Amino acid sequence: MIIYSLIIFSIVKAQKNDDCYLSVVLKDQKGYFETSAKKDRANYISLIKLAPWVRPKVIDEIKKIAPATTICNYSQFNILEGYDLPDGYIFGLIWVDSLFFEYTNAPAVKAGSNLSVSKKTFSSLQQEERDIVSKFSIWDDSIFRSKLPRGKHVVFSPLFYLATKVSHENNTLKVRTIAFRY
C-alpha cells in the first residue's frame, strides 16, 4: 500500500487568534484529507471529525497547566496526532521550542470528555515520539513514508498520524499538513 506524503500548504492572512488558529489548522487538514486517495481517507476521518471537539479542550488544559506559556502566544507550533483504529484512541502532541504537551483522548460517549493532557520535556517523550519530533522539519525523511507498524501504541495495525506545522509572522499564517503511518 502506498503511503501518501502529499503536503498541503496554506497561507492566509492571520486573523484574531481566539482559538490558537485551530480553525485554520482544521481547514488545512480537511484540504489534505480531500486530496488523499479515497481508500486512505478512512484512516484519517476520525481525526478530522473529532478535532473540533478535542483540540479546543486540549488548549484549555494547556492554559491550566502552564498559564504563562500557552502555544497561542508563539509564532510557530507543531501538532502531531495519531489515531489508533482498533481501539479508537487519539494520541497527540503539541509543542513549541522545547515545551511539549502530550494528550490522549480515550474513546468516550462525548469527544474530549475522556482527555488527559500532560506537560513533557523532549527526554520524557516515548522513543517513537522523539524520533518523529527530531525529524519533524524534514518531511521527506523515511519516518514520514513509513509503512510498517511500530511503537508502543500499536500492536496489530499502524498508528495513522496527521502532522501539522503552523507559523505566523508579519500577519501571515502558514499551515502545512502531512499524513503518514508509523
Q: Where does the pLDDT of residue 39 fall: very low under 50, low under 70, confident under 90, or very high at 90 and above?
A: confident
User: What confidence score (pLDDT) does residue 52 get?
Assistant: 86
> Is residue 3 domain-resident?
no
> Is residue 2 domain-resident?
no
Q: Which one has a higher pLDDT value, 178 or 9?
A: 178
User: What confidence score (pLDDT) does residue 128 get?
Assistant: 87
Domain limits for position 21: 8-181
Tens of pLDDT, residue by residue over 91-146, are 999 999 889 999 998 887 676 678 999 999 999 999 989 999 999 999 999 888 76
- Judge contact between 164 and 79, C-beta under 8 A: yes
User: What confidence score (pLDDT) does residue 155 get?
Assistant: 47
pLDDT of residue 41 exceeding 60, the answer is yes
User: What confidence score (pLDDT) does residue 7 get?
Assistant: 47
* Number of independent structural domains in the chain: 1
> Is residue 72 domain-resident?
yes
User: What confidence score (pLDDT) does residue 79 get?
Assistant: 95
The string of DSSP letters for 12-56 reads: EE----SSTTHHHHHHHHHHHHHHS-HHHHTTTHHHHHHHHHHHH
User: What confidence score (pLDDT) does residue 158 get?
Assistant: 63
Q: What is the mean pLDDT of residues 71-95?
A: 87
Other C-beta atoms lying within 10 Å of the C-beta of residue 60: 14
> Is residue 26 domain-resident?
yes
Give the pTM.
0.81
User: What confidence score (pLDDT) does residue 95 get?
Assistant: 94
The string of DSSP letters for 54-98 reads: HHHHHHHHHHHH-TT--GGGSSEEEEEEEEETTTTEEEEEEEETT
> Is residue 177 domain-resident?
yes
> Is residue 176 domain-resident?
yes
